[in-house]
Amino acid sequence: MRRFEKGFMLGAATAAHQVEGNNIHSDYWVQEQIPHSSFDEPSLDAVDHYNRYEEDIKLLADAGLNTYRFSIEWARIQPEPDAWVKEEVEHYRKVLECCHRNGVTPIVTMHHFTSPKWLITEGGWENNDTVEKFAAYCKRLVEELGDLMEYVSTINEANMRLQLAALIKDMMKRMMGGNTKSAPAQSDVQVGINMIPENIKLGMIETANAFGIQDPTKVHTFISQCTPEGDILVMRAHEAARDAMKKACPHLKIGLTLSLHDLQPYSGGEKHAEKEWDDEFLHYLPYIQNDDFLGVQCYTRKRFDANGVTQPSEGEKRTQMGYEDYPLGIANVVRAVAKEFKGQLIVTENGIATNDDSRRAEFIKEATEGLLACIDDGIPLKGYMYWSLLDNFEWQKGYCMTFGLIAVDRTTQTRYPKESLKVLGSLLEI
Ligand code: GCO
Protein backbone atom coordinates (compact mmCIF):
# COMPACT_ATOMS: atom_id res chain seq x y z
CA MET A 1 0.00 0.00 0.00
CA ARG A 2 1.50 3.35 -1.07
CA ARG A 3 1.98 6.03 1.59
CA PHE A 4 1.66 9.81 1.69
CA GLU A 5 4.89 11.76 2.00
CA LYS A 6 6.04 12.88 5.46
CA GLY A 7 4.84 16.50 5.10
CA PHE A 8 1.32 15.50 4.04
CA MET A 9 -1.37 16.31 6.64
CA LEU A 10 -3.01 12.99 7.50
CA GLY A 11 -5.55 12.92 10.28
CA ALA A 12 -9.14 12.85 11.41
CA ALA A 13 -11.95 15.32 12.02
CA THR A 14 -14.63 16.06 14.60
CA ALA A 15 -17.10 18.88 15.30
CA ALA A 16 -17.69 20.40 18.74
CA HIS A 17 -21.41 19.71 19.05
CA GLN A 18 -21.04 16.14 17.83
CA VAL A 19 -18.35 15.08 20.31
CA GLU A 20 -17.92 17.53 23.24
CA GLY A 21 -21.26 17.24 25.11
CA ASN A 22 -23.61 19.67 26.88
CA ASN A 23 -23.50 22.45 24.28
CA ILE A 24 -26.41 24.03 26.14
CA HIS A 25 -26.25 27.57 24.68
CA SER A 26 -26.45 26.39 21.06
CA ASP A 27 -29.38 26.43 18.65
CA TYR A 28 -29.05 22.68 18.14
CA TRP A 29 -29.46 22.00 21.86
CA VAL A 30 -32.70 24.04 21.79
CA GLN A 31 -34.05 22.04 18.82
CA GLU A 32 -33.14 18.71 20.37
CA GLN A 33 -35.13 19.49 23.54
CA ILE A 34 -38.56 20.42 22.10
CA PRO A 35 -41.40 17.81 22.38
CA HIS A 36 -41.73 17.30 18.60
CA SER A 37 -38.02 17.42 17.85
CA SER A 38 -36.80 16.21 14.44
CA PHE A 39 -33.84 14.65 16.26
CA ASP A 40 -33.96 10.88 16.91
CA GLU A 41 -32.29 11.61 20.27
CA PRO A 42 -30.62 14.57 22.06
CA SER A 43 -26.82 15.03 22.05
CA LEU A 44 -26.53 15.26 25.89
CA ASP A 45 -22.96 14.30 26.97
CA ALA A 46 -22.05 13.28 23.40
CA VAL A 47 -18.75 11.39 23.79
CA ASP A 48 -17.43 13.78 26.46
CA HIS A 49 -14.62 15.02 24.22
CA TYR A 50 -14.77 18.33 26.10
CA ASN A 51 -13.16 16.55 29.07
CA ARG A 52 -11.36 13.73 27.23
CA TYR A 53 -9.70 15.59 24.33
CA GLU A 54 -6.18 14.82 25.65
CA GLU A 55 -6.81 11.06 25.52
CA ASP A 56 -8.39 11.35 22.06
CA ILE A 57 -5.61 13.49 20.57
CA LYS A 58 -3.01 11.11 22.03
CA LEU A 59 -4.79 8.11 20.43
CA LEU A 60 -4.70 9.98 17.10
CA ALA A 61 -0.98 10.79 17.43
CA ASP A 62 0.02 7.35 18.73
CA ALA A 63 -1.63 5.79 15.66
CA GLY A 64 0.80 7.76 13.47
CA LEU A 65 -1.49 10.62 12.39
CA ASN A 66 -0.13 14.21 12.36
CA THR A 67 -3.24 16.44 11.99
CA TYR A 68 -6.48 16.95 13.92
CA ARG A 69 -9.42 18.94 12.54
CA PHE A 70 -11.85 20.14 15.20
CA SER A 71 -14.27 23.03 15.68
CA ILE A 72 -14.45 25.76 18.31
CA GLU A 73 -17.97 26.26 19.63
CA TRP A 74 -19.14 29.86 19.25
CA ALA A 75 -21.99 29.24 21.68
CA ARG A 76 -19.49 28.40 24.44
CA ILE A 77 -17.37 31.49 23.80
CA GLN A 78 -20.39 33.83 23.49
CA PRO A 79 -23.42 32.27 25.24
CA GLU A 80 -24.95 35.77 25.24
CA PRO A 81 -24.42 38.55 22.64
CA ASP A 82 -22.22 40.66 24.90
CA ALA A 83 -20.49 37.80 26.72
CA TRP A 84 -16.93 36.55 26.11
CA VAL A 85 -16.21 33.57 28.37
CA LYS A 86 -12.49 33.54 29.15
CA GLU A 87 -12.69 30.05 30.68
CA GLU A 88 -13.93 28.67 27.36
CA VAL A 89 -11.21 30.46 25.41
CA GLU A 90 -8.73 28.89 27.82
CA HIS A 91 -10.33 25.47 27.26
CA TYR A 92 -9.61 25.69 23.53
CA ARG A 93 -6.13 27.04 24.25
CA LYS A 94 -5.51 23.79 26.13
CA VAL A 95 -6.84 21.74 23.19
CA LEU A 96 -4.50 23.59 20.81
CA GLU A 97 -1.56 23.17 23.19
CA CYS A 98 -2.37 19.46 23.50
CA CYS A 99 -2.18 19.15 19.68
CA HIS A 100 1.25 20.79 19.60
CA ARG A 101 2.48 18.69 22.55
CA ASN A 102 1.61 15.57 20.55
CA GLY A 103 3.19 16.79 17.29
CA VAL A 104 -0.27 17.25 15.75
CA THR A 105 -1.18 20.16 13.44
CA PRO A 106 -4.60 21.62 14.36
CA ILE A 107 -7.05 22.54 11.60
CA VAL A 108 -9.61 24.74 13.38
CA THR A 109 -13.20 25.18 12.17
CA MET A 110 -14.81 28.36 13.51
CA HIS A 111 -18.42 27.36 12.72
CA HIS A 112 -19.60 23.77 12.24
CA PHE A 113 -23.41 23.99 11.77
CA THR A 114 -24.18 25.13 15.35
CA SER A 115 -24.74 28.79 16.31
CA PRO A 116 -25.40 30.54 19.63
CA LYS A 117 -29.12 30.47 20.44
CA TRP A 118 -29.22 34.30 20.65
CA LEU A 119 -27.91 34.62 17.07
CA ILE A 120 -30.95 32.73 15.75
CA THR A 121 -33.31 34.80 17.92
CA GLU A 122 -31.75 37.88 16.28
CA GLY A 123 -32.47 36.64 12.75
CA GLY A 124 -29.72 34.08 12.29
CA TRP A 125 -28.34 33.29 8.83
CA GLU A 126 -30.81 35.53 7.00
CA ASN A 127 -29.90 38.66 9.01
CA ASN A 128 -27.13 40.74 7.42
CA ASP A 129 -25.87 41.66 10.91
CA THR A 130 -24.66 38.05 11.27
CA VAL A 131 -21.83 38.82 8.85
CA GLU A 132 -20.22 41.30 11.25
CA LYS A 133 -21.09 39.31 14.41
CA PHE A 134 -19.36 36.23 12.99
CA ALA A 135 -16.35 38.23 11.80
CA ALA A 136 -15.99 39.89 15.22
CA TYR A 137 -16.11 36.50 17.00
CA CYS A 138 -13.46 35.08 14.66
CA LYS A 139 -11.20 38.14 14.86
CA ARG A 140 -11.24 38.30 18.67
CA LEU A 141 -10.64 34.56 19.00
CA VAL A 142 -7.57 34.52 16.76
CA GLU A 143 -6.25 37.62 18.54
CA GLU A 144 -6.22 35.43 21.66
CA LEU A 145 -5.41 31.97 20.25
CA GLY A 146 -4.09 32.60 16.72
CA ASP A 147 -0.45 32.04 17.74
CA LEU A 148 -1.37 28.37 18.34
CA MET A 149 -3.23 28.00 15.02
CA GLU A 150 -2.10 27.47 11.41
CA TYR A 151 -5.03 26.30 9.24
CA VAL A 152 -8.43 27.87 9.92
CA SER A 153 -11.68 27.01 8.17
CA THR A 154 -14.26 29.75 8.76
CA ILE A 155 -17.41 27.79 8.01
CA ASN A 156 -17.98 24.05 7.60
CA GLU A 157 -19.95 23.11 4.50
CA ALA A 158 -20.75 26.71 3.65
CA ASN A 159 -22.85 25.41 0.72
CA MET A 160 -25.09 23.20 2.87
CA ARG A 161 -27.93 25.70 3.20
CA LEU A 162 -28.79 25.58 -0.50
CA GLN A 163 -28.55 21.76 -0.54
CA LEU A 164 -30.90 21.58 2.41
CA ALA A 165 -33.32 24.07 0.91
CA ALA A 166 -33.62 21.75 -2.10
CA LEU A 167 -33.97 18.71 0.19
CA ILE A 168 -36.72 20.31 2.30
CA LYS A 169 -38.58 21.56 -0.82
CA ASP A 170 -38.37 18.04 -2.29
CA MET A 171 -39.56 16.55 1.02
CA MET A 172 -42.52 18.90 1.27
CA LYS A 173 -43.48 18.15 -2.36
CA ARG A 174 -43.49 14.41 -1.63
CA MET A 175 -45.43 14.89 1.58
CA MET A 176 -48.06 16.91 -0.21
CA GLY A 177 -48.35 14.08 -2.76
CA GLY A 178 -46.45 15.89 -5.51
CA ASN A 179 -45.49 13.45 -8.25
CA THR A 180 -41.77 13.59 -8.55
CA LYS A 181 -40.13 11.17 -10.93
CA SER A 182 -36.59 11.58 -9.57
CA ALA A 183 -35.24 9.83 -6.47
CA PRO A 184 -35.53 11.72 -3.14
CA ALA A 185 -32.88 14.43 -2.83
CA GLN A 186 -29.99 13.49 -0.55
CA SER A 187 -27.68 15.48 1.66
CA ASP A 188 -24.95 14.71 4.15
CA VAL A 189 -27.21 15.99 6.86
CA GLN A 190 -30.55 14.21 7.42
CA VAL A 191 -33.62 16.30 8.28
CA GLY A 192 -36.72 14.80 9.84
CA ILE A 193 -37.62 13.31 6.50
CA ASN A 194 -39.73 10.47 7.90
CA MET A 195 -41.81 12.79 10.05
CA ILE A 196 -45.47 13.24 9.19
CA PRO A 197 -46.56 16.79 8.30
CA GLU A 198 -48.49 17.37 11.59
CA ASN A 199 -45.43 16.64 13.72
CA ILE A 200 -43.32 18.86 11.47
CA LYS A 201 -45.77 21.73 11.97
CA LEU A 202 -45.80 21.25 15.78
CA GLY A 203 -42.02 21.02 15.80
CA MET A 204 -41.75 24.27 13.84
CA ILE A 205 -44.10 26.09 16.26
CA GLU A 206 -42.27 24.76 19.33
CA THR A 207 -38.91 25.71 17.82
CA ALA A 208 -40.08 29.26 17.07
CA ASN A 209 -41.35 29.61 20.64
CA ALA A 210 -38.04 28.30 22.01
CA PHE A 211 -36.18 31.05 20.12
CA GLY A 212 -38.77 33.71 21.00
CA ILE A 213 -39.69 34.10 17.33
CA GLN A 214 -43.31 34.70 16.35
CA ASP A 215 -43.33 33.30 12.82
CA PRO A 216 -42.19 29.63 12.56
CA THR A 217 -40.89 30.29 9.04
CA LYS A 218 -38.50 32.92 10.39
CA VAL A 219 -36.22 30.53 12.33
CA HIS A 220 -33.04 30.84 10.29
CA THR A 221 -30.52 28.36 11.73
CA PHE A 222 -27.54 27.48 9.56
CA ILE A 223 -29.22 24.20 8.63
CA SER A 224 -32.60 25.49 7.52
CA GLN A 225 -34.39 26.69 4.42
CA CYS A 226 -32.39 29.54 2.88
CA THR A 227 -33.13 32.33 0.43
CA PRO A 228 -30.68 33.08 -2.41
CA GLU A 229 -29.58 36.08 -0.31
CA GLY A 230 -29.08 33.81 2.71
CA ASP A 231 -26.97 31.45 0.60
CA ILE A 232 -24.63 34.31 -0.29
CA LEU A 233 -24.79 35.80 3.23
CA VAL A 234 -22.78 32.76 4.39
CA MET A 235 -20.09 33.55 1.80
CA ARG A 236 -20.03 37.21 2.86
CA ALA A 237 -19.61 36.09 6.47
CA HIS A 238 -16.73 33.88 5.32
CA GLU A 239 -15.00 36.75 3.49
CA ALA A 240 -15.47 39.18 6.40
CA ALA A 241 -14.14 36.64 8.91
CA ARG A 242 -11.23 35.62 6.65
CA ASP A 243 -10.14 39.22 6.08
CA ALA A 244 -10.49 40.16 9.77
CA MET A 245 -8.50 37.10 10.90
CA LYS A 246 -5.80 37.64 8.26
CA LYS A 247 -5.37 41.21 9.47
CA ALA A 248 -5.03 40.06 13.08
CA CYS A 249 -2.84 37.03 12.32
CA PRO A 250 -1.23 37.21 8.85
CA HIS A 251 0.42 33.79 9.30
CA LEU A 252 -2.90 31.95 9.28
CA LYS A 253 -3.92 29.86 6.24
CA ILE A 254 -7.65 30.44 5.87
CA GLY A 255 -10.36 28.76 3.82
CA LEU A 256 -13.75 27.11 4.18
CA THR A 257 -15.13 23.64 3.50
CA LEU A 258 -17.77 22.57 0.98
CA SER A 259 -19.99 19.51 0.89
CA LEU A 260 -19.50 18.10 -2.62
CA HIS A 261 -20.57 15.03 -4.57
CA ASP A 262 -19.03 13.06 -7.43
CA LEU A 263 -21.67 13.92 -10.04
CA GLN A 264 -22.08 11.26 -12.71
CA PRO A 265 -24.81 11.81 -15.34
CA TYR A 266 -26.16 8.96 -17.42
CA SER A 267 -26.88 9.98 -21.00
CA GLY A 268 -29.77 12.43 -20.79
CA GLY A 269 -28.86 13.48 -17.25
CA GLU A 270 -26.08 15.92 -18.18
CA LYS A 271 -28.12 19.08 -17.64
CA HIS A 272 -29.15 17.99 -14.13
CA ALA A 273 -25.53 17.24 -13.23
CA GLU A 274 -24.35 20.60 -14.59
CA LYS A 275 -26.98 22.47 -12.57
CA GLU A 276 -26.08 20.52 -9.42
CA TRP A 277 -22.37 21.32 -9.88
CA ASP A 278 -23.15 25.01 -10.22
CA ASP A 279 -25.45 24.91 -7.17
CA GLU A 280 -23.00 23.08 -4.91
CA PHE A 281 -19.72 24.51 -6.17
CA LEU A 282 -19.25 26.81 -9.18
CA HIS A 283 -21.39 29.74 -8.05
CA TYR A 284 -19.34 30.00 -4.82
CA LEU A 285 -15.99 30.34 -6.66
CA PRO A 286 -15.95 34.18 -6.69
CA TYR A 287 -16.05 34.22 -2.85
CA ILE A 288 -13.08 31.89 -2.28
CA GLN A 289 -10.57 33.24 -4.83
CA ASN A 290 -8.58 34.94 -2.02
CA ASP A 291 -8.57 31.88 0.21
CA ASP A 292 -5.38 29.98 1.11
CA PHE A 293 -7.01 26.57 0.72
CA LEU A 294 -10.34 24.86 0.02
CA GLY A 295 -11.65 22.07 2.26
CA VAL A 296 -13.21 19.38 0.07
CA GLN A 297 -15.80 17.08 1.68
CA CYS A 298 -17.33 14.19 -0.23
CA TYR A 299 -18.90 10.90 0.86
CA THR A 300 -20.47 9.46 -2.27
CA ARG A 301 -21.53 10.02 -5.86
CA LYS A 302 -24.83 11.21 -7.30
CA ARG A 303 -26.08 9.95 -10.65
CA PHE A 304 -28.64 11.60 -12.88
CA ASP A 305 -30.93 10.54 -15.69
CA ALA A 306 -33.33 12.70 -17.68
CA ASN A 307 -35.67 12.94 -14.64
CA GLY A 308 -32.99 14.02 -12.20
CA VAL A 309 -31.05 12.27 -9.42
CA THR A 310 -31.35 8.45 -9.36
CA GLN A 311 -31.21 5.95 -6.48
CA PRO A 312 -28.30 3.48 -6.21
CA SER A 313 -29.33 0.27 -8.00
CA GLU A 314 -30.21 -2.94 -6.12
CA GLY A 315 -26.78 -4.53 -6.12
CA GLU A 316 -24.87 -1.41 -5.08
CA LYS A 317 -23.62 -1.24 -1.48
CA ARG A 318 -25.00 1.46 0.78
CA THR A 319 -23.66 2.88 4.05
CA GLN A 320 -25.69 3.20 7.27
CA MET A 321 -26.63 6.68 6.01
CA GLY A 322 -28.47 5.17 3.04
CA TYR A 323 -26.36 6.65 0.26
CA GLU A 324 -23.99 4.56 -1.88
CA ASP A 325 -20.72 3.24 -0.40
CA TYR A 326 -18.47 4.79 -3.06
CA PRO A 327 -14.84 5.46 -2.01
CA LEU A 328 -13.78 6.51 -5.54
CA GLY A 329 -15.91 9.65 -5.26
CA ILE A 330 -13.44 11.74 -3.25
CA ALA A 331 -10.63 11.54 -5.85
CA ASN A 332 -13.08 12.29 -8.68
CA VAL A 333 -14.33 15.37 -6.81
CA VAL A 334 -10.78 16.57 -6.03
CA ARG A 335 -9.99 16.35 -9.75
CA ALA A 336 -13.17 18.24 -10.69
CA VAL A 337 -12.50 20.96 -8.09
CA ALA A 338 -8.83 21.32 -9.11
CA LYS A 339 -9.97 22.27 -12.63
CA GLU A 340 -11.63 25.40 -11.23
CA PHE A 341 -9.89 26.29 -7.91
CA LYS A 342 -6.14 26.79 -8.26
CA GLY A 343 -5.25 27.05 -4.55
CA GLN A 344 -4.26 24.32 -2.10
CA LEU A 345 -6.80 21.55 -1.45
CA ILE A 346 -7.35 19.61 1.75
CA VAL A 347 -9.81 16.76 2.03
CA THR A 348 -11.37 17.92 5.31
CA GLU A 349 -13.99 15.15 5.44
CA ASN A 350 -14.35 11.72 3.86
CA GLY A 351 -15.45 8.54 5.55
CA ILE A 352 -18.03 5.79 5.88
CA ALA A 353 -20.83 5.07 8.32
CA THR A 354 -20.58 1.31 8.86
CA ASN A 355 -20.47 -1.20 11.70
CA ASP A 356 -17.98 -3.29 9.67
CA ASP A 357 -14.54 -1.86 10.48
CA SER A 358 -12.80 -4.06 7.90
CA ARG A 359 -15.00 -2.35 5.28
CA ARG A 360 -13.94 1.01 6.76
CA ALA A 361 -10.28 0.02 6.39
CA GLU A 362 -10.88 -1.01 2.76
CA PHE A 363 -12.79 2.24 2.11
CA ILE A 364 -9.84 4.26 3.45
CA LYS A 365 -7.37 2.37 1.26
CA GLU A 366 -9.50 2.78 -1.88
CA ALA A 367 -10.17 6.48 -1.21
CA THR A 368 -6.54 7.34 -0.44
CA GLU A 369 -5.23 5.36 -3.41
CA GLY A 370 -7.26 7.66 -5.68
CA LEU A 371 -5.90 10.72 -3.85
CA LEU A 372 -2.28 9.58 -4.23
CA ALA A 373 -2.94 9.41 -7.98
CA CYS A 374 -4.26 13.00 -7.84
CA ILE A 375 -0.99 14.09 -6.20
CA ASP A 376 1.00 12.15 -8.85
CA ASP A 377 -0.87 14.22 -11.46
CA GLY A 378 0.28 17.46 -9.84
CA ILE A 379 -2.92 18.40 -7.97
CA PRO A 380 -1.93 20.47 -4.88
CA LEU A 381 -3.62 18.20 -2.35
CA LYS A 382 -2.09 18.88 1.08
CA GLY A 383 -4.11 16.76 3.47
CA TYR A 384 -6.72 14.08 4.17
CA MET A 385 -8.94 14.17 7.26
CA TYR A 386 -11.02 11.06 7.81
CA TRP A 387 -14.52 11.70 9.20
CA SER A 388 -14.53 10.96 12.05
CA LEU A 389 -11.97 10.38 14.80
CA LEU A 390 -14.76 9.17 17.12
CA ASP A 391 -18.19 7.60 16.70
CA ASN A 392 -20.36 10.60 17.48
CA PHE A 393 -23.69 12.47 17.34
CA GLU A 394 -24.77 12.36 13.69
CA TRP A 395 -27.18 15.28 14.00
CA GLN A 396 -30.83 14.26 13.51
CA LYS A 397 -29.79 10.58 13.26
CA GLY A 398 -28.27 10.60 16.75
CA TYR A 399 -25.65 8.01 17.75
CA CYS A 400 -26.66 5.10 15.50
CA MET A 401 -24.41 6.19 12.61
CA THR A 402 -20.88 4.94 13.32
CA PHE A 403 -18.26 6.79 11.22
CA GLY A 404 -15.50 6.72 13.81
CA LEU A 405 -11.98 5.31 13.89
CA ILE A 406 -12.58 4.98 17.63
CA ALA A 407 -15.71 3.48 19.17
CA VAL A 408 -17.05 4.85 22.46
CA ASP A 409 -19.15 3.13 25.13
CA ARG A 410 -21.22 6.20 26.08
CA THR A 411 -22.30 4.69 29.40
CA THR A 412 -18.67 4.73 30.59
CA GLN A 413 -17.19 6.98 27.87
CA THR A 414 -14.50 4.32 27.40
CA ARG A 415 -12.65 4.57 24.07
CA TYR A 416 -12.11 1.48 21.84
CA PRO A 417 -9.71 2.29 18.97
CA LYS A 418 -10.62 0.31 15.85
CA GLU A 419 -8.23 -1.46 13.45
CA SER A 420 -9.02 1.21 10.85
CA LEU A 421 -7.32 3.87 13.02
CA LYS A 422 -4.09 1.89 12.71
CA VAL A 423 -4.64 1.39 8.97
CA LEU A 424 -5.03 5.14 8.40
CA GLY A 425 -1.98 5.90 10.58
CA SER A 426 0.09 3.42 8.54
CA LEU A 427 -0.43 5.49 5.35
CA LEU A 428 2.06 8.21 6.29
CA GLU A 429 5.82 7.94 5.56
CA ILE A 430 7.73 8.09 8.83
C1 GCO B 1 -21.39 17.12 7.42
C2 GCO B 1 -20.75 17.45 8.63
C3 GCO B 1 -20.45 16.32 9.57
C4 GCO B 1 -21.22 15.03 9.38
C5 GCO B 1 -20.50 14.12 8.40
C6 GCO B 1 -21.19 12.76 8.28
O7 GCO B 1 -20.69 17.11 6.42
O8 GCO B 1 -22.59 16.94 7.45
O9 GCO B 1 -19.56 18.16 8.40
O10 GCO B 1 -20.83 16.97 10.75
O11 GCO B 1 -21.36 14.37 10.60
O12 GCO B 1 -20.48 14.69 7.14
O13 GCO B 1 -22.46 12.93 7.73
CATH number of 9-425: 3.20.20.80
Summarize pLDDT for 127-170 with one digit per residue, the tens: 999 999 999 999 999 999 999 999 999 999 999 998 887 777 77
In the chain, where the domains are located: 9-425
Average pLDDT over residues 305-334: 95
* Contact present, 105 and 46 (Cβ < 8 Å): no
Does the annotation count 324 as an active-site position? no
Whether a cis peptide bond, with omega within 30° of 0, leads into 388 is yes
pLDDT of residue 165: 78
- Rounded to whole angstroms, the Cα distance separating 219 from 214 reads 9
Largest CA distance in the chain: 58
Whether a cis peptide bond, with omega within 30° of 0, leads into 37 is no
Catalytic residue among 157, 239, 276, 324: 157
Q: Provide the strand spans (E) within 103-150.
A: 105-111
The DSSP output letter for 310 is: E
**Residue nearest (by alpha carbon) to ligand 1 atom 6:** 188
pTM: 0.95
Confidence band, pLDDT 50/70/90 cuts, at residue 177: low
% of the chain with per-residue pLDDT over 70: 94
- Rounded to whole angstroms, the Cα distance separating 28 from 32 reads 6
Confidence band, pLDDT 50/70/90 cuts, at residue 198: confident
End-to-end CA distance of the chain: 14
Least confident of 7-11, 103-107, 225-229: 225-229
**How many whole angstroms from 241 Cα to the centroid of ligand 1?**
22
Probe residue for ligand 1, chosen from 333, 395, 400 as the CB with the greatest number of ligand atoms within 8 Å: 395
Residue 387 buriedness (CB in 10 A; 0-12 / 13-18 / 19+): buried
Summarize pLDDT for 39-84 with one digit per residue, the tens: 999 999 999 999 999 999 999 999 999 999 999 999 999 999 999 9
Q: Is 194's pLDDT higher than 60?
A: no
Q: Is 190's pLDDT higher than 60?
A: no
Alpha helices (H) along 123-227: 129-145, 160-175, 197-211
pLDDT of residue 180: 58
Summarize pLDDT for 331-385 with one digit per residue, the tens: 999 999 999 999 999 999 999 999 999 999 999 999 999 999 999 999 999 999 9
Average pLDDT over residues 286-299: 98
